[in-house]
């Protein structure tokens, strides 16, 4: 099968937030201009939203008509989905459900685990992914193209790295928001009115995005620029480090990773 032979992608749960973000982004991609989508949901929907998107409530019909099946339901809903894929490739967006469990339940040796984050709706996700089998390079090429339409993507050789990144990129804006909350609290404590403190930190984080646009630029370089300047920011950075900033972040990431590997699912193996 060549990349162009992945004609039809079926998304189980495709009317949900992530499935919709993927379909909407894929429809904008020239690289995927030949690809059709089938999306499923348990609820009925009134109209087809695009000539290349069809809707079904029948997951077996979706599997039968698709070249690649994407599982984009919540883990608690996955428990009741019993489909035999007969070695058709399956990509799962579910955190904490192992490729072994997916492969065994859905009878396919081609399982891809991918973990987009909240930025996928504006094509700014970072999506790590892992595939159980390397013997189908055209499949790997197609997965990279599909995930590229929602932002940056990287293939990983170890499934455990998906669990690690669940705790980092999977958190999306959560950790920057915690930093913003801490900065806002500090501003208020030093006398800045609450509403202005909020505007100040939100605007600062928004404006900081440009510093990370070049993915090959180490964050340490940006920190170093401010440390070398030896101004007020250098004093702030030094004190934050001295007070255990790195240790606090590392402990938080480890706690999230631990939760990812001991995910509370009755079907996890
Ligand atoms: N949102 C994120 O940023 C994000 C990031 C990474 C991974 N994930 C994972 O990706 C998956 C989807 O997330 P989401 O945010 O898109 O969730 P969501 O908005 O709740 O979408 C899930 C969809 O699944 C449908 N569904 C449930 N059972 C179904 C079934 N048996 N057959 C067909 N459709 C079914 C639901 O629609 P009906 O109720 O109408 O059936 C719903 O629209 C989850 O496992 C989530 O943990 C999400």
**Sorting pLDDT into bands at 50, 70 and 90, what band is 47?**
low
The pLDDT, as a whole number, for residue 4 is 61
The pLDDT, as a whole number, for residue 46 is 61
| Higher local confidence (pLDDT), 264 or 221 | 221
Q: Is the pLDDT of residue 3 over 70?
A: no
Q: What is the pTM of this model?
A: 0.93
In a domain, 217, yes or no: yes
In a domain, 268, yes or no: no
- What CATH code is carried by the domain that includes residue 42? 3.40.50.720
Domain-ending residue, one of 170, 196, 216: 170
Interval 166-181: pLDDT, tens: 999 999 999 999 999 9
Domain that includes residue 8, residue range: 3-170
| 179, 155: one domain | no
| 20, 8: one domain | yes
- Any known ligand binding at 118? no
In a domain, 265, yes or no: no
Interval 205-214: pLDDT, tens: 999 999 999 9
Ligand 1 proximity of 262 Cβ (cutoff 6 Å): no
User: Total structural domains in the chain?
Assistant: 2
The CA 262 to ligand 1 mean position distance, Å, reads 20
Domain-ending residue, one of 125, 142, 170: 170
Domain-ending residue, one of 170, 202, 219: 170
| 80, 109: one domain | yes
- Any known ligand binding at 207? no
Q: Are 130 and 99 in contact (CB under 8 A)?
A: yes
Q: Are 223 and 132 in contact (CB under 8 A)?
A: no
- Any known ligand binding at 18? yes
Q: Are 201 and 187 in contact (CB under 8 A)?
A: yes
Ligand 1 proximity of 14 Cβ (cutoff 6 Å): no
| 14, 52: one domain | yes
| 26, 125: one domain | yes
Cα–Cα distance, 168 to 98 (Å, whole number): 18
Ligand 1 proximity of 164 Cβ (cutoff 6 Å): no
| 184, 166: one domain | no
The CA 1 to ligand 1 mean position distance, Å, reads 29
**Sorting pLDDT into bands at 50, 70 and 90, what band is 257?**
very high
- 41-50, 102-111, 224-233: which range is least confident on average? 41-50
Q: Is the pLDDT of residue 159 over 60?
A: yes
Q: Is the pLDDT of residue 265 over 80?
A: no
Ligand 1 proximity of 17 Cβ (cutoff 6 Å): yes
């Amino acid at each position: 099968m060549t990349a162009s032979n992945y004609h039809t992608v079926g998304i189980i749960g495709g009317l949900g937030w992530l499935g919709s973000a993927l379909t909407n982004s894929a429809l904008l991609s020239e690289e995927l201009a030949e690809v059709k989508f089938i999306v499923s949901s348990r609820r009925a929907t009134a109209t087809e939203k695009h000539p290349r998107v069809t809707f079904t409530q029948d997951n077996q019909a979706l599997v039968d008509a698709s070249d690649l099946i994407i599982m984009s339901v919540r883990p608690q809903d996955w428990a009741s989905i019993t489909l035999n894929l007969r070695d058709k490739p399956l990509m799962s967006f579910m955190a904490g459900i192992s490729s072994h469990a997916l492969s065994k339940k859905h009878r396919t040796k081609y399982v891809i685990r991918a973990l987009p984050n909240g930025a996928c709706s504006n094509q700014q996700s970072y999506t790590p992914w892992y595939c159980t089998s390397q013997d189908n390079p055209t499949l790997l090429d197609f997965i990279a193209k599909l995930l590229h339409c929602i932002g940056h993507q990287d293939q990983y050789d170890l499934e455990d790295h998906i669990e690690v990144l669940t705790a980092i990129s999977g958190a999306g804006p959560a950790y920057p928001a915690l930093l913003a909350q801490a900065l806002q609290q500090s501003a208020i404590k030093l006398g800045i009115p609450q509403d202005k403190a909020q505007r100040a930190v939100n605007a600062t984080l928004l404006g900081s995005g440009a510093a990370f646009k070049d993915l090959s630029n180490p964050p340490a370089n940006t920190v170093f620029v401010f440390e070398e300047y030896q101004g007020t920011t250098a004093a702030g950075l030094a004190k934050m480090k001295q007070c255990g900033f790195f240790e606090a972040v590392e402990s938080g990431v480890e706690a999230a990773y631990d939760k990812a590997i001991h995910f509370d699912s009755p079907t996890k193996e």
